[in-house]
Amino acid sequence: MTNMPTQLTADFDEVLDRGDIAAARRLLAPPLARGCAEALFLSSSIPAGEDDAHAEAESFATLTQAAEKGYIPAIYSMGLCLLTGDGVEQDVTRAAAHFERASEAGYPSAMYEFGLALFHGKGVARDVPRAVYLIRASAQGGNEYAREFLLAYSLGVDA
């Protein structure tokens, strides 16, 4: 078992790109039955077909389960929810802790978000050198937002 995306995520994305939600659910059924964290995470993103608070709460609970099992993209996603207040009370300190945990696993998007938290001192003590280090590592990992940040930072633009 891995705490990063596997072929399951690629297969899931391919099925969803075709718009076949039923096939996506079928694909996830066996790993969900085994309690697979990656499958829990992916299932939390399937549109429920309902536009109500119950569906949103259920999706967030599933995301939480995946994060509690140590699935790095779920931990990062929990950080985003906490940062924005999406489905949960906004808490930048807890968001930064989630980003830090996912960044320690080498997740580029989390490195960027934790770097931003450090850069601006949001939820953590301000630490510009560490922030730039993490954002640079994120950019090297392919994060386009990190590349744009570094360009602006090198030009002296307020990032």
Longest dimension (CA), the chain: 52
* pLDDT tens, N- to C-terminus, the chain (159 residues): 479 999 999 999 999 999 999 999 999 999 999 999 999 999 999 876 655 667 788 888 999 999 999 999 999 999 999 999 988 899 999 999 999 999 999 999 999 999 999 999 999 999 999 999 999 999 999 999 999 999 999 998 766
CA distances from 9 to 29, 46, 109, 118, 141 (A): 13, 13, 17, 30, 19
Chain mean pLDDT for the chain: 93
* pTM summary value: 0.91
> Exposed, middle or buried by CB within 10 Å (0-12, 13-18, 19+), for 95?
buried
Which residue, among 46, 54, 49, has the nearest Cα to 28 in the 3D structure?
46
Q: What pLDDT, in 10s, does the model give residues 51-85?
A: 566 778 888 899 999 999 999 999 999 999 999 99
d(CA 108, CA 113): 9
Angle subtended at Cα 130 by Cα 105 and Cα 144, rounded to the nearest 5 degrees? 65
